[in-house]
Amino acid sequence: MNTLVGKKAPSFQAEAVINGTEFVEQFSLDQFIGQKNVIFFFYPLDFTFVCPTELIAFQEQLSEFEKRNTVVVACSIDSKYAHWAWLNTERNKGGIKGVQYPLVADLTKTIAIDYGVLAGQYQIDNESVRFEGNPVALRGLFLIDINGIIRHQVINDLPLGRSVDEALRMVDALNFYEKNGEVCPANWNSSKEGLQATAEGIATYLGTHQN
């Protein structure tokens, strides 16, 4: 699996559900180029167990992403109709009602393939096609900057839920670097200072952060 960091985010047009109720036929991340950062994340399936905890957690922090000029978009291999049904099912019945950011439908699995998160691969044997593995997306997350370039990616196996706080920290780090030109050291957060990417800058930082 090749990293996409530093490369242009793969482009696509796909069906999606936005605002929890509205179908869009040709949704694309390209609409945000030049305007906003994007957190684009994949999850395996609608109506499952770990997935609603993640999608609801992103919704609960959606205003924090918006403050950082960042939109959140999710994607799975389910249809737009499955997305719509899940979005309109009460949370106490396994649904994610109240989630407002877009859910992209990747029925053909081509988006998951392009982003390197499909949990298996197609094999061609004697002119027949079979799939090896699990035909769903791993828990991939990509931070795409305002120029459409992927600056951060993380991919979890199916049982391992992600940290929304870490996604926010990565957005903060990107915005801090873009604004100040300083890099972000280990365990950096928005309450801490950065450092100059020079030998002197590193020496100064380490000298003032000794245990």
Q: Is residue 72 part of a domain?
A: yes
pLDDT grade for 36, boundaries at 50, 70 and 90: very high
Q: Tell me what pLDDT residue 121 has.
A: 81
Model confidence pLDDT, tens digit, residues 60-83 = 999 999 999 999 999 999 999 999
Could you list the active site residues? 51
Q: Would 1 be classed as within a structural domain?
A: no
- Whether 23 and 81 map to the same domain: the answer is yes
Q: Left if phi > 0, otherwise alpha if psi is -120 to 50, otherwise beta: which for 194?
A: beta
- Percentage of the residues of the chain whose pLDDT score is greater than 70: 97
Q: Are residues 39 and 143 in the same domain?
A: yes
SS3 for 50? helix
Residue 189 lies in a domain: yes
The answer on pLDDT for 132 being more than 90 is no
Quote the pTM value: 0.92
- The domain of 169 spans 14-180
192 and 88 within one domain = no
Q: Which of 174, 209, 211, 207 is nearest to 190 (CA)?
A: 174
Which residues, 6 or more positions from 102, have their beta carbon under 8 angstroms from its beta carbon?
16, 17, 18, 24, 27, 73, 74
- Within a domain: 85: yes
CATH of residue 51? 3.40.30.10
**Helix/strand/coil percent split, the chain, to 5:** 30, 30, 40
5 part of a folded domain: no
pLDDT in tens, 177-203: 999 999 999 999 988 888 887 877 777
Does any domain span residue 57? yes
- Whether residues 163 and 205 share a domain: the answer is no
Residues in the chain: 211
- Does 120 lie in the same domain as 40? yes
1 pLDDT above the threshold of 60: no
Euclidean distance between CA atoms 188 and 71, whole angstroms: 22
Strands (E), 77-178: 103-105, 118-125, 128-137, 139-144, 150-156
Same domain, 113 and 196: no
Side-chain half-sphere CA neighbours of 173 within 13 A: 18
pLDDT over 60 (residue 210): no
Shared domain check, 75 and 170: yes
